[in-house]
Amino acid sequence: MILPTKHLNEERSILRIGAELLLLLRSETTVSRLWADFQAYRRDVLEIKPVTYDWFILALDLLFILGAIAFSEGKITRNRRDTQNLQFPEYVQRA
């Protein structure tokens, strides 16, 4: 579930979804705005199947547990400065 397996495509792994969310999270935003941006990114840029809202929330939970994001006053932000320069594999394109 967190990592891809032979039964779970890497496009649906929570780790991959979390990486995509970090790419999209450039500035403080709401959950609903990030969800809309994420759906558009997967549809228009990556041209891959969408994931459900449940998987989106699980990816946010993982990022929060890892300390990569923070939630305050209804807004999500990157929690640490070092997440600004993350290196992603080629298949995860920048938005």
CA dist 3 → 38, 42, 74 (Å): 19, 18, 29
- pLDDT tens for 58-78 read 999 999 988 899 999 999 998
Separation between Cα atoms, residue 14 and residue 56, nearest integer Å: 8
* Residue 43 covered by a domain: yes
Question: Domain limits at 69?
Answer: 10-85
Three-state SS for 8-61 is ECHHHCHHHHHHHHHHHCCCCECHHHHHHHHHHHHHHHHCCCCCCHHHHHHHHH
* Residue 80 covered by a domain: yes
Separation between Cα atoms, residue 95 and residue 73, nearest integer Å: 26
- pLDDT tens for 39-58 read 999 899 888 888 899 999 99
Residue 1 has pLDDT above 70, yes or no: no
Q: What is the pTM (predicted TM-score) of this model?
A: 0.76
CATH number of the domain to which 44 belongs: 1.10.10.10
* Residue 27 covered by a domain: yes
Please state the domain count of the chain: 1
* Residue 90 covered by a domain: no
The pLDDT value given to residue 84: 55
Separation between Cα atoms, residue 20 and residue 25, nearest integer Å: 9
- pLDDT tens for 11-28 read 768 888 999 999 999 899
* Residue 3 covered by a domain: no
The pLDDT value given to residue 7: 55
The pLDDT value given to residue 70: 92
* Residue 2 covered by a domain: no
